[in-house]
Amino acid sequence: MSVLIDNDTKVIVQGMGKTGRFHTDKAIAYGTRMVGAVHPSRAGETELFEGDTDHSGVPGRPDSYSVEIPIFRTVKEAIAATGATVSVIYVPPPFAADAIMEAADADLALVVCVTEGIPVADMVKAKSYLQSRSCRLVGPNCPGVITPRECKIGIMPGYIHEAGRIGVVSRSGTLTYEAVHQLTQVGLGQTTAIGIGGDPVNGTDFIDCLRMFNDDPATEGVIMIGEIGGTAEEEAAAWITANMTKPVAGFIAGTTAPPGKRMGHAGAIISGGKGTAADKIAAFQAAGVVVAPTPTDMGAAMLEAMGPPGN
Amino acid sequence: MKIHEFQAKELMRARGIPVPDGRAVTSVAEAIGAVAPLIESTGNPVVVVKAQIHAGGRGKGRYLEHPDLGGVNVVTAGTDGGVEAAEREVRKLADRMLGATLVTVQTGPEGKPVRRLYIEQGVDIAREIYVSVLLDRATSRNIVMASTEGGTEIEVVAAETPEKILKVEIDPGFGLLDFQARELAYGLGLEGEAFKNGIRFIKAIAKAADELDTDLIEINPLVVTGDSQVIALDGKMGFESNALYRHPEVQAMRDLSEEDAAEIEASGHDLSFIKLDGTIGCMVNGAGLAMATMDVIKYVGGEPANFLDVGGGAEKEQVAAAFKIITRDPNVKGIFVNIFGGIMKCDTIAQGVVDAVAEVGLDMPLVVRLEGTNVELGKRILDESELNIVSAADMKDGAQKILEATRS
């Protein structure tokens, strides 16, 4: 079990440029069912992907792949021809919000937007557009979503993941990898890892992910990785107090960040005294979340939150 | 991106938003020259001399060189003494203000050098109020925020009298609606002509925020004059950097002399860099990991000298540029490189580090922590390089090692 995506998920890619092609290839090598692409100026063509799979040599799984992906003019045409329910977006920033809205209008269940640098005003519009539709957005400016051994959508390195018991949700890309790597090392593994992105306006938030993990029978605990800026972590902490039935560990980046400066991510900024790491850590602790004192301790914090074996 | 007050007022004036008349000047002669035309065109003998720096709190700020002098000075000499008396006073002020260093609550103790003044007409102030347009992250929408407590920092109002802050949410599909502007104007206690002018003002800045992709427009104070005009006495605008590509007129207003030279150089190499005050330089891939690296340095008892994210696809040239920028800071005593290789392979980054060190030369300790794709290959490259590079097992270990190395 997992959340959002699994073995059966069929995925199309919006934007088949250099980046889109590179990561589509990696996704296929991981085993993801990439079934189509949308690229208006290349509609009617196909794109060939060939190589060795990530699981070459594993019994019962293919050693190599050769997949020819058809390219369509619109998301609707791609869905009609392929039956895809999920899209991943690598479209450049000026056009990415439009791509999100096109995917939502076509009734896809899930759209994962990897693109970094989308104007905030465009995302405000796209988010408003999504409110009256059933499509779920993950991102933008995120590494994507992965269910280990089943389906990888996004730019994360597949091999650090291992199927297991923990749901992962994070605003940061490389810190997600750090957490995933440690969970694999301590033997807990992951059910699904979701990068919700580092922008101030995004789709799926911490609470959405906590709710999904809480409802997923396979997920036994959750690790959430937040950072300075906004109040999403505080709101998540309140939700945990009221609703969460599973153990939660956490980490907050940015204890040493100076106020008023954007720390790489557009959303990572302390403004007007709000959004500090200290506030977020206090909120986590008040909600019973085991907070890792350093990023090296995330795996250990999750083990501590899970309690002794057999519990 | 930040701009100066005089530039924000230019943008407002171009959109029909009422602002006082004024002239930006960079020399004492220009400052004196601005006085007579200003007094003539406005018919008002009072002028205001305002320091132009990218920081708030100028009125209450003080010059390092002149502890008695603030960043905003009202010249009333013209009322009795005429234009020449006003000019004499402006000469004295400009002479002291230009080239001196203004310290405000937002500049830090080192202050900012004042290179430009804004000579502005005096305004007959009946009331001071507050209006801003900014993103509300909780609702993912822009809001208009207003308060009767003009002239006070909004953070102070929010902390002490939150009931005095009014907010309306802008639907991106419709823009600010008329009734919302009316609600705010009623809430601000505006009446008669001032009510009408207030509504016009609020609608105009909401429209400007949309057209210009600002992340903040803050008018504090917004003043109601004796004859019921509603005028932006101060004006602050910040721009959302992702949207700057569609506003060349705003990009042209960027004042590089207000920004940190190393941060400008870094952005030219696609590096995200922020200078801090500590002694341990860091080079990291990914914004979250870069922040966390600073945190772990502090956790083990050190102080980070910078935030530096080399991004997901760093090339050798970027790594070399990053080393140059870090080592130029005289406070830096050692460097901690922390990489979690995903798409970027550890052997690529290791080779980049070795080549960059060979090219730049390095006379301080270097600790490298590598994890992720091709980590063994990467470590071997570092070991075989014959450079004095210390390997770390994980982030905390790396932070401890660089701290020890810089203390010995």
Q: What is the ipTM of this complex?
A: 0.89
Residue A179 lies in a domain: yes
Distance from CA of A36 to the nearest CA of B (A): 23
- Band of the pLDDT at A310, cuts 50, 70, 90? low
CB contact under 8 A, A177 and B395: no
Distance from CA of A231 to the nearest CA of B (A): 7
Share of chain A above pLDDT 70, in %: 98
CB contact under 8 A, B246 and A119: yes
CB contact under 8 A, A294 and B396: yes
CB contact under 8 A, B288 and A261: no
Residues A117 and A247 in one domain: no
Decide if pLDDT at B268 tops 90: no
pLDDT at A116: 92
Report the residue from A120, A157, A254 with minimal CB separation from B295. A254
* Distances from the Cα of B276 to the Cα of A275, B271, B301, B326, angstroms: 19, 16, 16, 11
Decide if pLDDT at B407 tops 90: no
* Amino acid present at A206: F
Closest CA to A269 of A256, A280, A278, A260: A260
Cα A152 from chain centroid (whole Å): 10
Distance from CA of A44 to the nearest CA of B (A): 30
φ/ψ of B387, rounded to 5, equals -85, 160
How far apart CA B324 and CA B319 sit, in angstroms, is: 9
Residues A125 and A226 in one domain: no
Closest CA to A268 of B286, B88, B157: B286
What confidence tens digit (pLDDT) does each residue in A88-120 have?
A: 999 999 999 999 999 999 999 999 999 999 999
CB contact under 8 A, B141 and A128: yes
Residues of chain B with CATH 3.40.50.261: 261-407
pLDDT at A63: 93
Share of chain B above pLDDT 90, in %: 74
Residues A300 and A176 in one domain: yes
The verdict on B160 touching A (C-beta cutoff 8 Å) is no
- Band of the pLDDT at B385, cuts 50, 70, 90? confident
On whether the CB atoms of residues B122 and B48 are closer than 8 A, the answer is yes
On whether the CB atoms of residues B337 and B353 are closer than 8 A, the answer is yes
Residues A35 and A123 in one domain: yes
CA contacts within 13 A on the Cβ side of A82: 28
Q: Which CATH number fits domain B21-121: 3.40.50.1000, 3.30.1490.20, 1.10.3720.10, 3.10.20.30?
A: 3.30.1490.20
Domain end call among A123, A138, A153: A138
Closest Cα in chain A to B55? A260
CB contact under 8 A, A256 and B297: yes
Closest CA to A56 of A45, A47, A65, A44: A65
CATH of the domain at A284: 3.40.50.261
Decide if pLDDT at B184 tops 90: yes
Q: Residue B147: in which H helix or E strand, if any?
A: strand B141-147
Contacts of B309 in chain A (CB under 8 A): 264
Residue A152 lies in a domain: no
The verdict on B72 touching A (C-beta cutoff 8 Å) is no
Residues of chain B with CATH 3.30.470.20: 125-251
Residues A130 and A166 in one domain: no
Residue A206 lies in a domain: yes
pLDDT at B98: 97
Distance from CA of A95 to the nearest CA of B (A): 12
Cα A197 from chain centroid (whole Å): 7
φ/ψ of A155, rounded to 5, equals -110, 10
Report the residue from A172, A173, A296 with minimal CB separation from B396. A296
CB contact under 8 A, A258 and B138: no
pLDDT at B151: 85
What's the whole-number mean pLDDT along residues B207-218?
A: 96
pLDDT at B388: 84
Helices (H), chain A: 18-30, 75-82, 93-105, 120-130, 173-185, 206-215, 232-243, 277-286, 298-306
Residues A183 and A98 in one domain: no
Residue A146 lies in a domain: no
What's the whole-number mean pLDDT along residues A68-94?
A: 97
B125-251: CATH class: alpha beta
Domain end call among A138, A170, A204: A138
Report the residue from A160, A173, A264 with minimal CB separation from B272. A264
Contacts of B395 in chain A (CB under 8 A): 178, 294-296
How far apart CA A68 and CA A35 sit, in angstroms, is: 9
DSSP bridge pairs for A223: A168, A249
Closest Cα in chain B to A272? B155
Decide if pLDDT at A311 tops 70: no
The verdict on A171 touching B (C-beta cutoff 8 Å) is yes
Sheet containing A86-89: which strands, arranged edge to edge? A46-52, A64-72, A33-38, A10-14, A86-89, A110-113, A136-138
Residue A21 lies in a domain: yes
- Under DSSP, the state recorded for B175 is B
What's the whole-number mean pLDDT along residues B140-147?
A: 95
What's the whole-number mean pLDDT along residues B359-367?
A: 87
Report the residue from A120, A157, A253 with minimal CB separation from B135. A120
Decide if pLDDT at B316 tops 80: no
Residues A184 and A300 in one domain: yes
Domain end call among A105, A138, A171: A138
What's the whole-number mean pLDDT along residues B322-351?
A: 88
What confidence tens digit (pLDDT) does each residue in B111-139 have?
A: 999 999 999 999 999 999 999 999 998 89
Distance from CA of A42 to the nearest CA of B (A): 26
What's the whole-number mean pLDDT along residues B287-314?
A: 91
Instruction: Return residues 171-200 of B near A (CB < 8 Å).
Output: 171-173
Residues of chain B with CATH 3.30.1490.20: 21-121
Beta-strand relationship, B306-309 and B272-275: antiparallel
Residue A54 lies in a domain: yes
- The rounded mean pLDDT for chain B is 93
How far apart CA B128 and CA B143 sit, in angstroms, is: 21
**B218 included as an active-site residue:** yes
Q: Which residue has the higher pLDDT, B365 or B108?
A: B365
**B211 included as an active-site residue:** no
What's the whole-number mean pLDDT along residues B350-377?
A: 87
Token pair of B322, please? 């990053």
The verdict on B313 touching A (C-beta cutoff 8 Å) is no
Residues A66 and A109 in one domain: yes
Residue A70 lies in a domain: yes
Beta-strand relationship, A10-14 and A33-38: parallel
What's the whole-number mean pLDDT along residues A48-77?
A: 93
Distance from CA of A154 to the nearest CA of B (A): 11
The residue from B5, B120, B130, B149 that is catalytic is B130
How far apart CA A129 and CA A251 sit, in angstroms, is: 32
Distance from CA of B289 to the nearest CA of A (A): 5
On whether the CB atoms of residues B150 and B190 are closer than 8 A, the answer is no
CB contact under 8 A, B289 and A174: yes
B261-407 falls under which CATH superfamily? Succinyl-CoA synthetase domains (3.40.50.261)
Closest Cα in chain A to B214? A121
pLDDT at A294: 94
pLDDT at A233: 94
Residues A113 and A32 in one domain: yes
Residues A122 and A173 in one domain: no
Report the residue from A119, A251, A272 with minimal CB separation from B213. A119
**Total domains, chain A:** 2
Contacts of B294 in chain A (CB under 8 A): 255-257
On whether the CB atoms of residues B66 and B101 are closer than 8 A, the answer is no
Q: What is the pTM of this model?
A: 0.92
The verdict on B340 touching A (C-beta cutoff 8 Å) is yes
CB contact under 8 A, B242 and A117: yes
Closest Cα in chain A to B305? A256
Residues A169 and A259 in one domain: yes
Domain hosting A81: range is 10-138
Count CB atoms within 10 A of the CB of residue B174: 9
pLDDT at B131: 97
A–B interface: beta-carbon pairs under 8 A: 174
Residues A35 and A103 in one domain: yes
CATH of the domain at A92: 3.40.50.720
